[in-house]
A and B are shown apart, each in its own frame.
Chain A
Amino acid sequence: MKEVGRITAQFPEGMQKSALLRVLHLAQAEFGWLSVPVMDYVARLLHLNPVEVYEVATFYSMYDTKPMGKVKLEVCRTGPCMIEGAERIVKYIEYKLGIKDSETTADGVFTLKTVECLGACGYAPMLQAGEKFHEHLTEAKVDELIEQYKANPVVNYMGM
């Protein structure tokens, strides 16, 4: 709540709606995904009509409006990563975890999500988990990452 106050204070009086994107990030970090009750809560916090929150939550690809695993592996699939082997990395993760793109493992730990260019094209292939960029991926690195997150399924997101 203190954080919400700090964020809204960055905008002029009456423009608190500008805080919406950041507050939705906070809410998602806290609750894992944006359910209708969570979005309604955000709407009340910022004195908005719930529809204003829904339409934003569904527009931006970083917001999840369905439940996610504890660790989202967001693999970049765009051109520069693709030519450095991103498709193989996606296939390998699918094979390792036994899931397809946008599915979650049965134990609820991992969700695989392919995403568009994350601004790391020179360090391809890459994936993002929470805030962290994992670059220059190889199959061995993916093995390592998966082990690490299995043992400790925590990612840092929004500093939480």
Chain B
Amino acid sequence: MARKLLLENAHIEGIHTYDVYRKNGGYRSVEKALKSMSPEDVVEEVKKSGLRGRGGAGFPTGMKWGFIAKPEGVPRHLLCNADESEPGTFKDRYLMEKIPHLLIEGMIVSSFALGANHSYIYIRGEYMYVLRILETAIAEAYANGWLGKNIMGSGFNLDLSVSPGAGAYICGEETALIESLEGKRGNPRMKPPFPAVRGLWQRPTVVNNVETIAAVVPIVNEGGDAYAQIGIGRSTGTKLISAGGNINKPGVYEIEMNITVEEFIYSDTYCGGIKNGKKLKACVPGGSSVPILPHYLVSKTAAGQDRLMTYESLSDGGFATGSMLGSGGFIVYDEDQCIVRNTWNFTRFYHHESCGQCSPCREGTGWMEKVLHRLENGHGKIEDIDLLWDIQRKIEGNTICPLGDAAAWPVASAIRHFREEFAWHVKEPKACLERNYGLVADRTFETVTA
């Protein structure tokens, strides 16, 4: 049975309450860190653990913490990124809803490591009910002396607050998140300066994903070396994967980063195979932004090796034949799904969510959406495929923040692997609409058959 470090106790009745959480070993890492470790010791354990950011980019957490500036007399901040808006991703919600105290415990230990005395959890506005679960848990933590002044007589002070967004994917980008937390529009900032030097209110700031911060708890409890022993290569520890799409058992799974993609999709421990006995067509393994993989590159890499659920293996082959682990938003497509429609849908999403600061992103996403819409709806021309290729190339790398790349990659990979399907939409303009959806605009609802 796979080891679980984060969700092991998630099924215990009442684990969201302080008493049950504490009885099951909760807050041990705070005791350990505050009583017997220095902040530097905690950073050192995190470095040893090899933990990489779980928000999408996979940057080594210990190294990031090492970059935080420490000017005399200037407060520092830890911000938890609970914006979770990458399509396909719903793991952080699960974690916060089931075991809110795990995140709070992680926030305390991580804030201690960074020397932050007021930390914030920025949560997407649509998770308002989760915000209230967190606030209830935070009140319990204050009441039991884990937050506030002089925690456990250690001299360490920490306040923890939760602040909501209001419906903007871009606020998951760390500098946009900071702007939003300052009460402004979520426009990403130019880097440098990096948040580690000038972040929230121009103070040194670290932004970390919910799951990253939660993982610090077992790292402190068991030691960084023990954590690093799980997984393969530079993919250490466990990862939460939120699996959705056409599978038998969608949901949130904690995996050790050593299982194969094949096992993840087909075993009953995880996704339980493709729904309705259909065949696998494609998979987006790390949230909507990462390249889509056609079925023949899902279980095996181009070199013929088993593909593993790790950072390295999922990106094996680069963008030509690989993808990315990303945020762990695992989306599975069966043989009936239309790649053009899916690409159009994602592009519409990015166009909707572009903050509009850079013209390649603002105009390019809108243009791609239009071209994809006409392809999908039977008005496309064969040149449109090259046109799309051209637009996405002009966006990638030419923007302030990575949303531009995130919008470009799904289009590039869809064309790369499914060019024939795009061409088929041009040659058989009505076939797709009739085959897949029964939702042609000029039909009334009653005449639609399922």
Smallest Cβ distance from A139 to chain B, in angstroms? Answer: 10
The residue on B at minimum CB distance from A83 is B337
Q: Please state if B345 and A82 are interface contacts (CB–CB under 8 Å).
A: yes
Of B163, B242, B246, B333, the residue contacting A10 (CB under 8 A) is B163
Smallest Cβ distance from A135 to chain B, in angstroms? Answer: 10
Of B167, B242, B448, B450, the residue contacting A60 (CB under 8 A) is B167
Q: Please state if B345 and A56 are interface contacts (CB–CB under 8 Å).
A: no
Q: Please state if B129 and A18 are interface contacts (CB–CB under 8 Å).
A: no
Q: Can you list 30 pairs linking A and B with CB atoms under 8 Å apart?
A: A10-B159, A10-B163, A12-B201, A17-B182, A17-B183, A18-B163, A18-B181, A18-B182, A20-B183, A21-B166, A59-B168, A60-B167, A62-B167, A63-B167, A78-B87, A79-B331, A80-B88, A82-B345, A84-B244, A84-B246, A87-B437, A88-B450, A91-B439, A95-B444, A115-B126, A116-B85, A119-B124, A122-B251, A128-B126, A131-B128
Task: Note all chain A residues with C-beta closer than 8 A to B446.
Answer: 95
Mark contacts of B72-94 with chain A using CB atoms, 8 A cut-off: 1 yes-contact digit, 0 otherwise: 00010000000011111110110
How many contacting A-B pairs (Cβ < 8 A)?
A: 155
Residues on A lying within 8 angstroms of B by beta carbon are: 10-12, 15, 17-22, 24-25, 52, 55-56, 59-63, 77-80, 82-84, 87-88, 91-92, 94-95, 115-124, 128, 131-132, 157-159
Which 9 pairs between the two chains have the least Cβ-Cβ distance? A60-B166, A122-B250, A62-B167, A20-B183, A61-B167, A17-B183, A95-B445, A10-B161, A121-B244
Q: Does B234 contact A (CB under 8 A)?
A: no
Smallest Cβ distance from A2 to chain B, in angstroms? Answer: 15
Q: Please state if A80 and B244 are interface contacts (CB–CB under 8 Å).
A: yes
Q: Please state if B185 and A55 are interface contacts (CB–CB under 8 Å).
A: yes
Task: Note all chain A residues with C-beta closer than 8 A to B92.
Answer: 119
Smallest Cβ distance from B101 to chain A, in angstroms? Answer: 19
Give the distance in Å from the alpha carbon of A129 to the alpha carbon of B129 in the complex. 12
Q: Does B125 contact A (CB under 8 A)?
A: yes
Q: Is the interface of B mostly helix, strand, loop or mixed?
A: mixed
Q: Please state if A88 and B125 are interface contacts (CB–CB under 8 Å).
A: no
Q: Does B115 contact A (CB under 8 A)?
A: no
Give the distance in Å from the alpha carbon of A71 to the alpha carbon of B446 in the complex. 25
Smallest Cβ distance from B109 to chain A, in angstroms? Answer: 21
Of B93, B329, B352, the residue contacting A116 (CB under 8 A) is B352
Task: Note all chain B residues with C-beta closer than 8 A to A84.
Answer: 244-246
The residue on B at minimum CB distance from A157 is B128
Q: Please state if A78 and B349 are interface contacts (CB–CB under 8 Å).
A: yes
Task: Note all chain A residues with C-beta closer than 8 A to B279.
Answer: none
Task: Note all chain B residues with C-beta closer than 8 A to A20.
Answer: 183
Smallest Cβ distance from A113 to chain B, in angstroms? Answer: 10
Q: Please state if A56 and B244 are interface contacts (CB–CB under 8 Å).
A: no
Smallest Cβ distance from B432 to chain A, in angstroms? Answer: 14
Of A10, A25, A88, A95, the residue contacting B439 (CB under 8 A) is A88
Q: Does B342 contact A (CB under 8 A)?
A: yes
Using known A-B contacts A116-B353, A122-B242, A158-B128, determine if residue A79 contacts B87 with beta carbons closer than 8 Å: yes
Using known A-B contacts A116-B349, A123-B250, determine if residue A79 contacts B342 with beta carbons closer than 8 Å: yes
Using known A-B contacts A21-B183, A120-B90, determine if residue A60 contacts B349 with beta carbons closer than 8 Å: no
Smallest Cβ distance from B450 to chain A, in angstroms? Answer: 8
Mark contacts of B200-243 with chain A using CB atoms, 8 A cut-off: 1 yes-contact digit, 0 otherwise: 01000000000000000000000000000000000000000011
The residue on A at minimum CB distance from B170 is A59
The residue on B at minimum CB distance from A23 is B183
Give the distance in Å from the alpha carbon of A20 to the alpha carbon of B242 in the complex. 32
Task: Note all chain B residues with C-beta closer than 8 A to A120.
Answer: 90, 93
Task: Note all chain B residues with C-beta closer than 8 A to A77.
Answer: 345
